[in-house]
Each structure stands twice: as C-alpha cells, then as structure tokens.
C-alpha cells in the first residue's frame, strides 16, 4: 500500500461471531459466493485503530494453526486450532511507534516483523511461546531485534534458504539478511538500484533452465511502475535479469509466481482509480526470464482496488480491498483464461476503488481455513463451502441444572451434548424444552437435542434433565450496633429482631421462611460485644446464615452535685458542634471518649462558664463527655 493512504475506521462493536454458512449469497451480513464465515473477531477486541498485513504459522509439534495479525500498534497472535472459537492470545507491541504499515513473515518457528515506523527495525518472536499461554490475552515481548535497517515497508522471506529481505522504507531497494540463526540476524548484502515495494523470492525451478537452482527475486517497484527479475544468489552481487514495463501503469504493488514458475500475476494498486477500469490482474509469461512476454490482462467484476495476491494450486487468492477476498481460478491461465470462482466480502458497504476493506489474506493453512485482515473490520476466518448432504451424529448426555436466584434456568445445547459430531467439523445445537423454573424441581424432564451442521442437515437425541435448587435463602441482616444498659439495670434485654422486621429473608423458590435467632429474644446481655446470629432453611434443605455485632455498654454515672446539675449541653444529638454551659462553676477541662474508652478530645486550662466542641469529624454513634473530671454526660453524633 502506498504511503499517503489515509485510514478510514469502521467501528464494529459486535463480539466474536461463530460459523455462518454462505446461503443465497450471504453469510450473515457479508456477501459471499462459495465461502463460509468460520469466525470473526472485531478490530475493537485488539484495542487498536487498524489492521494491515497477516501471515500464518502451523506448529510442527501438533499441527495447531495460528494467525499472525499485523496491527497499527503491534502484532496480534490468534490460536485457530479450534477455528470456530479462535483465541486472541495477546499482542507484541510495535518496537517504536504506531503506523499504518506492518508486515510479518515466518521462518523456522520464528516470526519476523517490520514496520514503516521510524527506527523500528525487525522484531524476532519465538512462536513456540504461543503453546504455553495460560490467561490470554497477554502482552508479549520480542526475543531478538535487528536494527541495521530502521523502517521497512515489507518483509520477504525465502524459507528454503533462510534469507529475509527487508524492502522499501530506509532500505529503498532490498537488504538481504541471513536469519538461519533467528535470534542473531546478520546482514548479507543489499540491492539498491531500484525502489522495491514488495517481492517474492524463490529457488527457481521453472522452464528457463539457465537459472535452475538460482535464488530469483521478482519485485514490484512502486512508483517506478515496473517489475524486475533479479538473481540474488550471490548476496554480494545481485544481478538484474530483466525489467517488465506493462501498459497503463500507476503503482506496481505486488507480484507472485504461479506454482510451475512459468507465469507471474502482477497487481497495480492505483490503476483502477487512474484509468477507471475494474480490478485488473496482469499476467506475464516467464518461460524465458531474460525476455518476459505479456500474456493478457484479467478484469474482475468490481471497481475495487487490488492489493496482495497469493497462488495456491490453481487458485489465486486476492485481497481486493472493498470487494473482500476474491478467489480466481487460474487453471486455464496457459490459454489466457482466468475466472472468478468465489469470494467473501468483509466490507459490504460498497465495491469502489480505494482503501477500505481487505489488506491481506493468508490461504496456506492445511485445514483450508483462510485468514483475512480487514483494515477496520478486524480478523475473519473463512473456508470454502462444500455440498453436504450428510446428517450430523447427535449424542446426548443427561444433565442436572441448578436454578438461579430468580428460580429459573435455561439449558444450553452444550449442557446435554455428549459428543455430537459432523464431517464438517462444526455443529450447532437447540434444546426443546430448554427453560425451567421452581415447579420443575424433583421431576426429571425429557428434552430433545437437535444437532445441525452448517449445511442445515440435522439429527436428534433425547436426554434427561433434572432440576435442582442449591441456593439458600438470602438475608437482609441488621447492622452492627452499640446499645446502653436498660434503665436502672446492668444488662441489656435482647429484642426479637425477626418479629420487629429488622432481619428478613427471601428465597428463589420457597415462601413463608422461618428465621431462628441466637441468642433468643429476651436474653439479658451483660456489658461487652455479642454476636447475634440468624439462620433460615428453605424447602429444599438449603441453609443460610447472617449475623451482626451488638456492643452493650453501661451509661456512665452522673454525680449528683451542683456542678453536674448545672451543666447544659445543646444541641444534643448534634452533627457538628455542641455548646457546653455551666451555671455554677467555671469549666476547666473537657475530655471526650468513645464507647471503647478511646480519648478523642482532651482540653485543659479552659476556665470559662461556656465553651463549644467540634464533633463533625466523629462517626455516628454514642460518646461520653467528662467535665472537670467530676461530671459525665452522654452525647450523640448524628
């Protein structure tokens, strides 16, 4: 993609989407032909502003497949070993700053990542670390870094030789890097004659025997509007073999060999906009690498801009921006024939030229799943549809379902599924009946599980569902409290908190619950802190408890003296200040204590008939004020 493109963000707020077959030209909200939607993770899940390139890795240890998803702020790793339930494992942040452009390739179980961000260099990440992610998503760190080149537009990898090629950006042409030891990349040479935007490098085994066994690069040269064929076997002395000048050029963006290496398919990124024709794929015959011959141009069915395309067998998988993934049948390319065999459009808003939609596709997973990076739509996984008339196999298991706090439960298909299967690898479930309440307790219910495959084939089985209630009553308990002795007594008589409505309980199924109180109402409690407990049991034998702390304190004695009788406190209760007036004798000292005896205020040398104390910072409750160490009064903070 050329550097001046502005990213338009399409906000998508849906969550993960499971498999949706392509039926009557649509897979859910997405236009399609011959390709089913396996799964989708919206861009927002990755907490980024845009997606770009992608690639794939298959773990040689167990065959698990992973998508390496380029983002503007880093690289995301997605486990698609269960393709209908992909797992976002985490992100490796960009080495420097965010940018629209990022590219990732794989060699020897390592990912190599470049970006056009200044000073980014090449990140190296050990992909075997993905096997042991426990609590995704996690934040990854790079395992090594190559900094001999700062920014690069693309990274080309020849997995047959262990050489990576950083192209574009600071490297202008191509920098050759030996990555045979992935954790210690070494510069091996460079090509600087022309700007290279993207390329493919292969060990040549095509029809031109002059170059058999040579390492050949075919490069797209951006604004130079050419494709070059370069022999890079000798890294110290790369040799240009030939240059292709095609008609109506704008921006030579990407090029790819057919599998027999006799032809190449060229994509020009801006020609649709500049010349007004539909998506164009340019085909050249390379029977003689020294003399490429133009075969023909193939035009698609929309005006959408083409981006990256890859060959697998007789198919060419094209990231066609707003037209989505387009799959071209190139089995007749030798007779100048190409046809569109299918598509999946992740950008249903339109098919105009421009830069919304699909940036890259990765079609090389052994499972047949194809990873798609949509710039604003995020991650898509699709797979070719098949004609399926075989019913799935339904297998049931009995299930015990527990009612929720509302006395209800919904039984899911996965609850009664005992291992149902289908040759497609995907099944969905419905259960009838599936909603139960308190009236179903104790009576086993026979339910029917219907198992469906993506093509609509079904099978059924039955299971026994038993409904139980495991939830005890829910208490509305009483708060901790401090109380005084009964008047003229040295104890506090415990009230009946249940009868008074201070402690209540509810239950999801049972009504008219009985609550027991301990100690029982009427007990005389001495000074100290006491735990008051309550218990209730519902009709199913589920028991719940609650309790609170009750602190009993004596009211301090008030000395029967003229000084004590002449003390006036107001207002009391109070929320902030209390005025103290003495009618008989000057106040010389004041102390305030809480019910535990902790001194909160201690004033001396007052020598006044009236004063004021501030209790605004006190917690609500009962306190005691001592005056001149010979009179005590109770005050209440409200």
Could you give the domains of the chain? Answer: 56-190 (2.130.10.10), 193-356 (2.130.10.10), 399-468 (2.60.40), 474-553 (2.60.40.10), 562-637 (2.60.40.10)
Distances (CA, A) of 615 to 313, 587, 607: 86, 18, 21
Mean pLDDT across the stretch 433-461?
92
* Percentage of the chain lying above the pLDDT 90 cut: 79
pLDDT over 50 at 242, yes or no: yes
Per DSSP bridges, beta strands 399-402 and 458-468 are: parallel
11-17 CB contacts, 8 Å cutoff, 24+ apart: 11/44, 11/376, 12/42, 12/43, 12/44, 12/376, 12/377, 12/378, 13/42, 13/44, 14/40, 14/42, 15/42, 15/45, 16/40, 16/41, 16/45, 16/85, 16/86
Is the CB of residue 508 less than 8 Å from the CB of residue 471?
yes
Q: What is the pLDDT of residue 169?
A: 86
Task: Report the pLDDT averaged over residues 595-617.
Answer: 88
Tokens of 127: 């992909």
pLDDT digits (tens, 9 = 90+) for 455-504: 778 999 999 999 999 999 999 999 988 888 888 888 999 999 999 999 99
- Model confidence band, residue 558 (pLDDT cutoffs 50, 70, 90): very low
**CA 205/CA 261 separation, integer angstroms:** 7
Nearest to 74 by CA among 34, 117, 15: 117
Please give the residue that has the higher pLDDT: either 43 or 483: 43
Distance CA 609, CA 614 (A): 17
- 138-155: average pLDDT: 97
- Mean pLDDT within 610-633: 88
> Residue 199's pLDDT is what?
98
Q: Which tokens belong to 6? A: 């502005």
Q: Which neighbouring-strand residues pair with 124?
A: 112, 144
Structure tokens at 50: 């845009």
Q: What is the pLDDT of residue 13?
A: 30
Q: What region does 287 belong to: left with phi over 0, alpha with psi -120 to 50, or beta?
A: alpha
Q: Which one, of 307, 281, 301, lies nearest residue 351 by Cα? A: 301
Position 423 pLDDT exceeds 80: no
Digit-coded pLDDT (tens) for 331-379: 999 999 999 999 999 999 999 999 999 999 999 998 899 999 999 999 9
- Encode pLDDT of 173-230 as tens digits: 999 999 999 999 999 999 999 999 999 999 999 999 999 999 999 999 999 999 999 9
Q: What is the pLDDT of residues 59-90, one digit of tens each?
A: 998 889 999 999 999 999 999 999 999 999 99
> What is the predicted pLDDT for the residue at 349?
94
Whole-number Å distance between alpha carbons of 345 and 327:
11
């Amino acid at each position: 993609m050329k550097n001046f493109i502005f990213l338009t963000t399409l906000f998508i707020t849906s969550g993960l989407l499971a498999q949706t077959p392509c039926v009557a030209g649509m897979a859910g909200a997405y236009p399609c032909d011959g390709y089913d939607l396996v799964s989708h993770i919206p861009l927002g899940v990755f907490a980024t502003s845009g997606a770009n390139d992608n690639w794939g890795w298959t773990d040689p240890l167990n065959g698990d497949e992973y998508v390496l998803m380029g983002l503007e702020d880093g690289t995301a790793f997605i486990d698609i070993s269960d393709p209908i339930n992909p797992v976002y494992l985490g992100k490796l942040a960009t080495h420097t700053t965010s940018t629209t452009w990022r590219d990732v390739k794989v060699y020897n179980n390592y990912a190599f990542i470049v970006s056009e961000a200044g000073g980014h260099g090449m990140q190296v990440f050990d992909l075997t670390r993905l096997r042991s992610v426990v609590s995704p998503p996690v934040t990854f760190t790079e395992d090594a870094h190559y900094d001999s080149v700062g920014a690069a537009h693309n990274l080309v990898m020849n997995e047959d030789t262990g050489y990576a090629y950083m192209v574009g950006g600071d490297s202008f042409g191509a920098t050759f890097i030996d990555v045979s030891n992935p954790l210690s990349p070494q510069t091996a040479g460079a090509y600087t004659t022309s700007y290279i935007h993207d390329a493919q490098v292969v060990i040549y085994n095509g029809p031109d025997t002059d170059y058999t066994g040579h390492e050949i690069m075919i490069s797209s040269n951006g604004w130079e509007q050419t494709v070059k064929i370069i022999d890079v076997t000798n890294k110290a002395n790369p040799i240009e073999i030939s240059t292709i000048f095609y008609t109506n050029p704008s921006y030579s963006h990407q090029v790819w060999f057919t599998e027999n290496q006799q032809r190449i398919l060229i994509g020009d990124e801006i020609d649709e906009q500049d010349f007004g024709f539909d998506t164009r794929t340019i085909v050249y015959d390379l029977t003689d690498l020294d003399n490429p011959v133009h075969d023909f141009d193939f035009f698609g069915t929309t005006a959408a801009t083409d981006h990256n395309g890859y060959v697998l067998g007789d198919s060419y998988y094209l990231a066609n921006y707003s037209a989505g993934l387009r799959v071209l049948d190139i089995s007749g390319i030798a007779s100048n024939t190409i046809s569109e065999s299918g598509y999946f459009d992740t950008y249903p808003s339109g098919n105009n030229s421009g830069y919304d939609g699909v940036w890259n596709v990765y079609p090389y997973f052994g499972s047949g799943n194809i990873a798609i990076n949509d710039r604003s739509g995020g991650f898509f996984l699709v797979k070719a549809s098949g004609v399926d008339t075989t019913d799935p196999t339904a297998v049931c298991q009995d299930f015990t379902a527990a009612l929720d706090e509302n006395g209800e439960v919904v039984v899911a298909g996965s609850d009664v599924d005992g291992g149902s299967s289908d040759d497609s690898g995907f099944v969905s479930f419905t259960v009838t009946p599936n909603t139960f309440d308190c009236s179903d307790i104790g009576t086993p219910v026979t339910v029917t599980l219907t198992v469906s495959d993506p093509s609509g084939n079904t099978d059924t089985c039955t299971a026994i569902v038993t409904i139980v209630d495991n939830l005890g009553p829910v208490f509305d308990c009483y708060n901790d409290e401090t109380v005084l002795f009964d008047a003229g007594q040295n104890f506090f008589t415990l009230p009946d908190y249940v009868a008074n409505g201070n402690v209540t309980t509810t239950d999801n199924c049972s009504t008219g619950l009985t609550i027991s109180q301990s100690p029982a109402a009427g007990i005389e409690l001495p000074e100290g802190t006491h735990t008051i407990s309550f218990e209730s049991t519902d009709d199913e034998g589920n028991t719940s408890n609650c309790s609170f702390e009750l602190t009993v304190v004596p009211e301090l004695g008030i000395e029967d003296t003229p000084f004590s009788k002449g003390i006036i406190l107001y207002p009391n209760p109070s929320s902030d200040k209390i005025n103290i007036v003495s009618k008989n004798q000057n106040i010389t000292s004041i102390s305030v204590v809480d019910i535990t005896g902790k001194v909160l205020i201690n004033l001396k040398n007052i020598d006044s008939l009236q004063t004021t104390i501030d209790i605004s910072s006190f917690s609500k409750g009962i306190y005691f004020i001592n005056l001149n160490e010979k009179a005590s009064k109770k005050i209440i903070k409200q």
